[in-house]
A and B are shown apart, each in its own frame.
Chain A
Amino acid sequence: MRNILVIDDDEIIQNVLEKILVKEGFRVERAQNGKEGLAKFDLLKYDLVITDLMMPYANGFEIISKLKQHPNTANAAVIVISSITHEESVMDSFKLGVDEYIRKPIMVGELLLRIKKLLLSRPSNA
């Protein structure tokens, strides 16, 4: 079973992503803010981390740069889901090693396809 970590301070997005991904057969861990997200890195080896950019305690950029250094998440694919549309933020995210940048509001079908495509192209980390 593939492990996915969802970090977003929006409770609705968290709930919905968890339900969709669990329905699709993934194991999902969720975190409500950056600090909680960083703490979850120690729990499991993740295949995918989905993160927002603007969050309390630690923002998405900090999370992405730290997850690239953590043994449990270094090889995980990363998807950013954010309402920030500035070109600079998108570019900075890709420079940090993000695989996909999806703008809010999300299209559920599109997100799911991207997740599946990303995970198919990588071996499981678990």
Chain B
Amino acid sequence: MPDIFADFSPEEPVRIPLLDSFLELPVIIQIAVIFIFISSASIVFIQVRIWFTRYKGHRMQKRLAVLLPLIDNLISEHIILRNDVMNNSVHADNADLDIDAFRLREFRKKGNKQILIDRLISYRKGFSGSTGALLRRLYLELDLDKVSFKKMKRSQWNTKVRGIRELTDMDISISDVNILPLTNSKRNELRSEARNAYIKLSKNEPFKFFDISTEPLLKWDQIELFKTITTTENIALPSFARWVTYSSNKSIVSFCLKLIVHYNQIDAGPAVVKLLDNKDHVLRAEAINCLGKLKYEEVEQQLLHIYSNQPLNCQLEILKAIGRMETRHSVLFLKQEFLYSTDFDIRKNAARSLVRNAPKALIEELMASSSEDGQLILKHSMNPLIKY
């Protein structure tokens, strides 16, 4: 039997000439060589990625150049240029729609189907009335809603967002089971999209997700939601006092306070007053701001009573609220704050509220007796161009 291990000696290491010569180099050179190798590999990788992305973009452009005119012609012929639709003489649900004309071999591919969805959505954003309704019908009858629903079930958050957006743009209702959990997702983008969709699509209780939201409603999300709420037609508005009273999510309470002001829900006053005992001074300040804008006069004495125990932001809001209420009951208090406070913001807000509440004679008297700073603050407060 031949001894295949005859030449092998365990003491003698395996020698790789290139590695050996590398190891013989000084350390600094070794580091430089490794650095050059990593840099070169990265450049090659990035360049290949760029080529690949460009190639994909080029292929997409070629595909779009073929498909978009085809889709545009189909939509023009079967939806937009129809006389019955242009004259509005037929309801979209009853109009004859040649669905088979859209069931082309080209649209069986997943990528091409997506192009069709995107184009339909773009058209629907541009056209309403019978045209918009027919486009929606087309989307449903081609079962494209199923494609969007499938996206909602995918694990990647951006695909979910895309699915929700498509369904929202096409005004397709999504069941609470599917959308409600997403309104409380850890991923902010998904959460925000789901909340917007829920408000737009839920016909009965568009604010139900406020009940289950534990994740915060960020400032930007509040702006987006506010825009959605105020621009969605026929939205069922609840009494927002419900969440001011029961929600443990501070950002939801804060947002509801803004909605109470916007919709002038004066009935919410007692619920907002209870927030004056809240431990969070930011929320307290927002509640005071809300009460001032609602001109909820019943709370004026309570605000004066708690004033001295409040942090600066709440004190400023109390001064503003008293000014907005315009009851003229607290002129003396405002005068004292204006004359004796050492804080500039307090003096400024007290002056503004004084200008709104105090008799003209008192303002003139203050102008005459105040220091130079005080006079400047009063003049500033009396400027009608400065919004209060």
Q: Which residues of A contact B (CB under 8 A)?
A: 10, 12-13, 15-16, 19-20, 23, 104-110, 112
Structural contact, A105 and B125, CB atoms closer than 8 A: yes
| With A109-B85, A109-B87 as contacts: A104 and B126 at CB distance below 8 Å | yes
| With A108-B86, A109-B129, A109-B130 as contacts: A16 and B76 at CB distance below 8 Å | yes
- The answer, yes or no, to whether B80 is at the interface (CB within 8 Å) is yes
Distance between B265 CB and nearest chain A CB, rounded to angstroms: 24
- Chain B window 113-134, contacts with chain A (Cβ cutoff 8 Å), 1 for yes, 0 for no: 0000000001111111111100
Structural contact, A16 and B127, CB atoms closer than 8 A: yes
Structural contact, A108 and B125, CB atoms closer than 8 A: no
Within residues 79 to 101 of chain B, which ones have a CB less than 8 A from any CB in chain A? 80-81, 85-88
Structural contact, B86 and A106, CB atoms closer than 8 A: no
- Hey, which chain A residues are within 8 Å of B87, CB to CB? 109
Q: Is the interface of A mostly helix, strand, loop or mixed?
A: helix
Structural contact, B130 and A20, CB atoms closer than 8 A: no
List the A residue with the shortest CB-CB distance to B130.
A109
- The answer, yes or no, to whether B72 is at the interface (CB within 8 Å) is yes
Distance between B332 CB and nearest chain A CB, rounded to angstroms: 41
| With A107-B131, A109-B87, A112-B86 as contacts: A20 and B126 at CB distance below 8 Å | no
- Hey, which chain A residues are within 8 Å of B125, CB to CB? 104-105
Distance between B124 CB and nearest chain A CB, rounded to angstroms: 7
A40–B123 alpha-carbon span in the complex (Å): 26
List the B residue with the shortest CB-CB distance to A10.
B126
Of all A-B residue pairs in the complex, the 8 with the closest CB atoms, nearest first, are A107-B129, A105-B128, A109-B88, A108-B131, A13-B126, A105-B127, A12-B126, A109-B86
- Hey, which chain A residues are within 8 Å of B124, CB to CB? 105
Structural contact, A19 and B80, CB atoms closer than 8 A: yes
- Hey, which chain B residues are within 8 Å of A105, CB to CB? 124-128, 132
A108–B89 alpha-carbon span in the complex (Å): 12
Structural contact, B80 and A16, CB atoms closer than 8 A: yes
- Hey, which chain B residues are within 8 Å of A16, CB to CB? 76, 80, 126-127
Structural contact, A107 and B128, CB atoms closer than 8 A: yes
A10–B124 alpha-carbon span in the complex (Å): 13
List the B residue with the shortest CB-CB distance to A112.
B86
If A12-B122, A106-B128, A108-B85 are given as contacts, then 9 extra A-B residue pairs at C-beta distance below 8 Å, sorted by A number, are: A12-B126, A16-B76, A16-B126, A105-B124, A105-B126, A107-B128, A108-B130, A109-B85, A109-B87
List the B residue with the shortest CB-CB distance to A83.
B125
Report, as a range, how many residues of chain B touch the other chain.
10 to 19
Structural contact, B123 and A12, CB atoms closer than 8 A: yes
List the B residue with the shortest CB-CB distance to A109.
B88
Structural contact, B129 and A110, CB atoms closer than 8 A: yes
List the B residue with the shortest CB-CB distance to A8.
B126
- Hey, which chain B residues are within 8 Å of A19, CB to CB? 76, 80-81
- Hey, which chain A residues are within 8 Å of B123, CB to CB? 12
Structural contact, A108 and B76, CB atoms closer than 8 A: no
- Hey, which chain B residues are within 8 Å of A10, CB to CB? 126
A19–B86 alpha-carbon span in the complex (Å): 12
Structural contact, B81 and A107, CB atoms closer than 8 A: no
- Hey, which chain A residues are within 8 Å of B129, CB to CB? 107-110
Q: List 19 A-B contacts (CB under 8 A).
A: A15-B76, A16-B76, A16-B80, A19-B81, A20-B80, A20-B81, A20-B86, A104-B125, A104-B126, A105-B128, A106-B126, A106-B128, A107-B129, A107-B130, A108-B131, A109-B86, A109-B87, A109-B88, A109-B129
A75–B72 alpha-carbon span in the complex (Å): 33
Distance between B232 CB and nearest chain A CB, rounded to angstroms: 13
List the B residue with the shortest CB-CB distance to A13.
B126
List the A residue with the shortest CB-CB distance to B69.
A15
- Hey, which chain A residues are within 8 Å of B81, CB to CB? 19-20, 23
Within residues 210 to 262 of chain B, which ones have a CB less than 8 A from any CB in chain A? none
Distance between B68 CB and nearest chain A CB, rounded to angstroms: 9
Residue among A23, A108, A110 facing the most chain B CB atoms (10 A cut-off): A108
- Hey, which chain B residues are within 8 Å of A108, CB to CB? 80, 85-86, 127, 129-131
Structural contact, A106 and B127, CB atoms closer than 8 A: yes
Residue among B72, B123, B125, B126 facing the most chain A CB atoms (10 A cut-off): B126
A108–B85 alpha-carbon span in the complex (Å): 8
List the B residue with the shortest CB-CB distance to A24.
B86
A121–B32 alpha-carbon span in the complex (Å): 82
Distance between B29 CB and nearest chain A CB, rounded to angstroms: 55
Distance between B97 CB and nearest chain A CB, rounded to angstroms: 16
A49–B19 alpha-carbon span in the complex (Å): 76
Distance between A20 CB and nearest chain B CB, rounded to angstroms: 7
A18–B80 alpha-carbon span in the complex (Å): 12
Within residues 58 to 85 of chain B, which ones have a CB less than 8 A from any CB in chain A? 72, 76, 80-81, 85
A109–B87 alpha-carbon span in the complex (Å): 5
A19–B73 alpha-carbon span in the complex (Å): 10
